[in-house]
Amino acid sequence: MIYKDVIIIGGGPAGLCAAKILADQDVSVLLVDRDHHLGGQLVKQTHKFFGSEKQYAKNRGFEIAKILINDINDKPNIEILLGATVAGIYKDHVITVVKEERYLKYKAKAFIIATGASEKALAFENNDLPGIYGAGAIQTLMNLYGIVPEDEVLMVGSGNIGLIVSYQLLQAGVKVKGIVEAASIIGGYKVHASKLKRLGVPFYMQHTIKRAIGKDHLEAVEIVKLTDDFKELENETSIIKTKALCIAVGLSPLSQLLGMMEVAMKYIKELGGRVPVLNNLNQTSNPNIFACGDVSGIEEASSAMMNGYIAGLGALKHLEHPHPNHDELIKMYHHELEILRHSSYGEKTLAGLKKLGGGPYAN
Ligand SMILES: Cc1cc2nc3c(=O)[nH]c(=O)nc-3n(C[C@H](O)[C@H](O)[C@H](O)COP(=O)(O)OP(=O)(O)OC[C@H]3O[C@@H](n4cnc5c(N)ncnc54)[C@H](O)[C@@H]3O)c2cc1C
């Protein structure tokens, strides 16, 4: 058994920012990620970020990852364990980590869960045909390995991920055959949607995928028009020829580890699924467990960073070793979150957080 003061599970923007707060403090930290590199989703994001300088706005996602990784690398109090999946977390404050077919056990006084999210799937006939991808897979192929999936792609989902990945496909010389969206309004930022419209990408609003067509590989899809209450209009279907389909229909918090610790959680649609109830230090109903980033509600990388800092500060306070600037920093990061959440995308998050409860008065 290896002992640490704090274990951070997940090295995306949320986990990295939590680690940044703990760096150089008198606490021992383990940062563990199942991937073979740190950065989480940021490493595949090639577009420039919005926000303020506190979120490294105007930098590209992978550049922000490099900055954050640089800030915590070589810190004597932080051990980084990569290619290591946390398979379980137990009531005696022990985690099991699977690394290279070996099981390792760690025990800590506080845990920061920053495991991010998984992509939602879409149910339709033949949805397992080769040529059907999730947006994360396409971003990884193109932006990490320089491989385009096909020379044409039809996108499903007009949220920011669908819009950004469509733009990245166009930049890579791939024809975007259109964007299929079940809702009547575009979910992502208008600025991204306008760019795509100017480049001639058609939007099929109030449509969904009925079936994928092809024998050994995708050749076309049948789309169907939807009513305002998302019922299929049987006679209003059309066929779009495409070699690839990209599904970008939202994310679900990867909150299974929180579930194992039986912390108070609620299903909140606006936050993507089952999320923990947190106080203003991002502490769950179990005082030893903190959560931040997409696992505590789907937002964006910028808010994941702010929430990571808050969880780091919360863990230090819990260990009775508060950061020298605790009050000032907590106030500042909550203020930054307020600003981010009062932008157009934040409406949904604010509605979700209201339903979830928690906040300063939770504990
Ligand atoms: C496909 C996709 C595209 C996106 N595009 C954008 C975008 O363009 N702009 C934007 O602002 N946001 C985007 N987002 C959202 C944004 O990336 C996230 O909001 C942000 O990365 C969340 O940060 P996080 O640290 O919570 O999670 P992540 O960045 O997902 O990091 C979580 C980390 O936890 C690790 N992990 C998970 N489970 C375990 C486990 N059991 N054991 C060990 N490690 C584990 C994962 O390997 C990962 O490295 C996108 C998300 C996705 C999925």
As a whole number of angstroms, the distance between CA 97 and CA 80 comes to 13
56, 63, 115, best to mutate for ligand 1 pocket (most atoms within 8 Å of CB)? 115
Alpha helix positions (H), 89-189: 135-139, 145, 160-171
When pLDDT is cut at 50, 70 and 90, the band that residue 355 belongs to is very high
Tens digits of residue pLDDT in 156-213: 999 999 999 999 999 999 999 999 999 999 999 899 999 999 999 999 999 999 999 9
When pLDDT is cut at 50, 70 and 90, the band that residue 362 belongs to is very low
Burial class (CB in 10 A: 0-12, 13-18, 19+), 199: exposed
| Mean pLDDT rounded to a whole number for the chain | 94
Q: Has residue 97 got a pLDDT over 80? A: yes
CATH 3.50.50.60 fits 121-247, yes or no: yes
- Residue 236: its pLDDT value, please? 96
Q: Has residue 358 got a pLDDT over 90? A: no
As a whole number of angstroms, the distance between CA 285 and CA 299 comes to 22
Architecture of 2-118+251-356 per CATH? 3-Layer(bba) Sandwich (3.50)
Evaluate: CB of 263 within 6 angstroms of ligand 1: no
Ligand 1 atom with the smallest distance to the CA of 164 is: 8
Evaluate: CB of 12 within 6 angstroms of ligand 1: yes
Ligand 1 atom with the smallest distance to the CA of 300 is: 19
Six token digits for residue 86? 């946390």
Q: Has residue 249 got a pLDDT over 60? A: yes
As a whole number of angstroms, the distance between CA 270 and CA 136 comes to 21
Tens digits of residue pLDDT in 288-333: 999 999 999 999 999 999 999 999 999 999 999 999 999 999 999 9
Q: Has residue 363 got a pLDDT over 50? A: no
Evaluate: CB of 114 within 6 angstroms of ligand 1: yes
Average pLDDT over residues 91-107: 96
Nearest CA to ligand 1 atom 3: 161
Nearest CA to ligand 1 atom 53: 136
- Residue 40: its pLDDT value, please? 97
Average pLDDT over residues 135-141: 95
Q: Is residue 15 within 8 Å of residue 293, measured between CB atoms?
A: yes
Evaluate: CB of 113 within 6 angstroms of ligand 1: no
* Fold equal for 2-118+251-356 and 121-247: yes
Domain ranges of the chain: 2-118+251-356, 121-247
Percent of the chain with pLDDT over 90: 90
The total of other beta-carbon atoms located within 10 Å of residue 177's CB is: 20
Nearest CA to ligand 1 atom 14: 300
Q: Has residue 340 got a pLDDT over 60? A: yes
Nearest CA to ligand 1 atom 49: 40
When pLDDT is cut at 50, 70 and 90, the band that residue 360 belongs to is low
Alpha helix positions (H), 24-150: 61-72, 135-139, 145
The model's pTM = 0.93
When pLDDT is cut at 50, 70 and 90, the band that residue 359 belongs to is low
Average pLDDT over residues 13-22: 98
More reliable by pLDDT, 345 or 184? 184
- Residue 333: its pLDDT value, please? 96
Tens digits of residue pLDDT in 22-63: 998 999 999 999 999 999 999 998 888 877 788 888 899 999
- Residue 52: its pLDDT value, please? 79
- Residue 50: its pLDDT value, please? 76
Ligand 1 atom with the smallest distance to the CA of 33 is: 44
- Residue 68: its pLDDT value, please? 97
